[in-house]
Amino acid sequence: MTEPEMRLKLSVLDLVPKLPGTTAEAALEQAIRLARRAEELGYQRYWTAEHHDMEGLASSAPEVLLSAIGAATRRIRLGSGAVLLPHYSPLKVAENFRLLSALYPGRVDLGIGRAPGGEAHAAMALSGNFLERVGRYPQLAKDLTDLLADRYLYEEHPVTARPIPELPLELWMLGTNVKSAGYAAELGTGYVFGQFMSDSDGAEILRAYREAFRPSVHHAKPVAMLAVSVICAETEAQAEALAEKAAEGFRDRGGSPFQGFVGTARQVREQLSDLQHKCENDEFLIVTPIPDYEERLHSYRLLAEPCG
């Protein structure tokens, strides 16, 4: 293993796919299985996403799934990638994740984002006029940070998100452009750039975040992750075949083409090391969209054990 490879910090982002012919129950069992295996392999975090009324995903309520993941694991950090804040009351989000933090001390990350998480009608059914609510995102995010710092006032009256855990959770903001990086810097949160969903230059986005960062009670200094798609296999040809299957799935659902790193573990880790050198990110959040649960687990294992 080369020196750059040794410095890579890797975490898991699980979209909780419900593959064709499987049930929601099976998808959730696989999520728990992935988290356990990730912990054994030394991944730093298990994060799960939030989506609504999407047939191929079983991840509508991260806080519920993370409670089950926490009970099934012992060390790995538990996080949301992301709770879609425009849909919710900041107080309720703070309460949910502080409760998780009290259940699993020192292990909880709250990642927030401003995407709708589904088609327009699903977003409207969830919270009404989403465009109006997303316009309030900066204030919602500030309210949330104030709640987690125990300095929130409603009509000049203090309101506290309880329970208050002994060990505070980590607060992160997710995004795909310089605007979200600016919000994260202003509020002093960690920042995750969704490289696998964006054509923007990750190095430029993270540089803007670091330069504008304001220290806060949440983070004393800027800390950043890149979320990337990775498909590993024993050989480059096998990895490319799995990537083609993933791309077929995206095309069938009308989604964007697969963007990511494909190859053997050594090839992928070298590419990630090069990207880290360029972007100066602290960690990678790995999503592996292989449409087969066993192959997905194998890809995560290969990436964590490049010389195995």
Q: Following CA atoms 89, 92, 93, 98 in sequence, which dihedral angle do they give, to the nearest 10 degrees?
A: 160
Give me the phi and psi of 261, to 5 degrees please. Answer: -105, 130
Q: Give CA–CA dist 58/14, Å, rounded.
A: 10
Position 258 scores a pLDDT of 74
Q: Give CA–CA dist 269/216, Å, rounded.
A: 33
> Backbone dihedral region of 150: left (phi > 0), alpha (psi from -120 to 50 degrees) or beta?
left
Q: How many C-beta atoms lie closer than 10 Å to residue 256's C-beta? A: 12
Tokens 């054509």: give the residue.
Answer: 199
Residues 149-182: tens digit of each pLDDT: 999 999 999 999 999 999 999 999 999 999 999 9
State the CATH number of the domain containing residue 205.
3.20.20.30
Position 3 scores a pLDDT of 46
Position 254 scores a pLDDT of 56
Position 5 scores a pLDDT of 47
Q: Give CA–CA dist 45/192, Å, rounded.
A: 13
CA separation, residue 100 to residues 91, 110, 187, 246 (Å): 14, 10, 22, 33
Which amino acid would we find at residue 122? A
Q: Give CA–CA dist 135/137, Å, rounded.
A: 6
Task: With CA atoms as reference, report the closest residue to 10 among 290, 301, 256.
Answer: 301
Position 1 scores a pLDDT of 42
Position 257 scores a pLDDT of 66
Position 6 scores a pLDDT of 46
Position 253 scores a pLDDT of 59
Helices (H), ranges, the chain? 3-6, 24-41, 62-72, 90-103, 120-127, 130-134, 137-148, 178-187, 202-212, 236-252, 265-279, 293-304
Q: Give CA–CA dist 232/261, Å, rounded.
A: 8
Task: Give the largest CA-CA distance in the chain.
Answer: 62
202, 193 contact by CB (below 8 A): yes
Determine the straight-line distance between the first and last CA of the chain, rounded to whole angstroms.
10
Which amino acid would we find at residue 86? P
Domain containing 96: what range?
3-304
Sign of CA dihedral 252, 253, 255, 258: negative
Position 2 scores a pLDDT of 47
CB-hemisphere CA count at 13 Å for 294? Answer: 0
Q: Give CA–CA dist 195/183, Å, rounded.
A: 17
Sign of CA dihedral 244, 250, 256, 261: negative
* Number of domains comprising the chain: 1
Q: Give CA–CA dist 278/294, Å, rounded.
A: 33
pTM: 0.95
For the chain, which ranges sit under pLDDT 70? Answer: 1-6, 250-257, 306-308
What the block records as the tokens of 23 is 């049930």
Angle at 104 between CA 19 and CA 9, to 5 degrees: 65
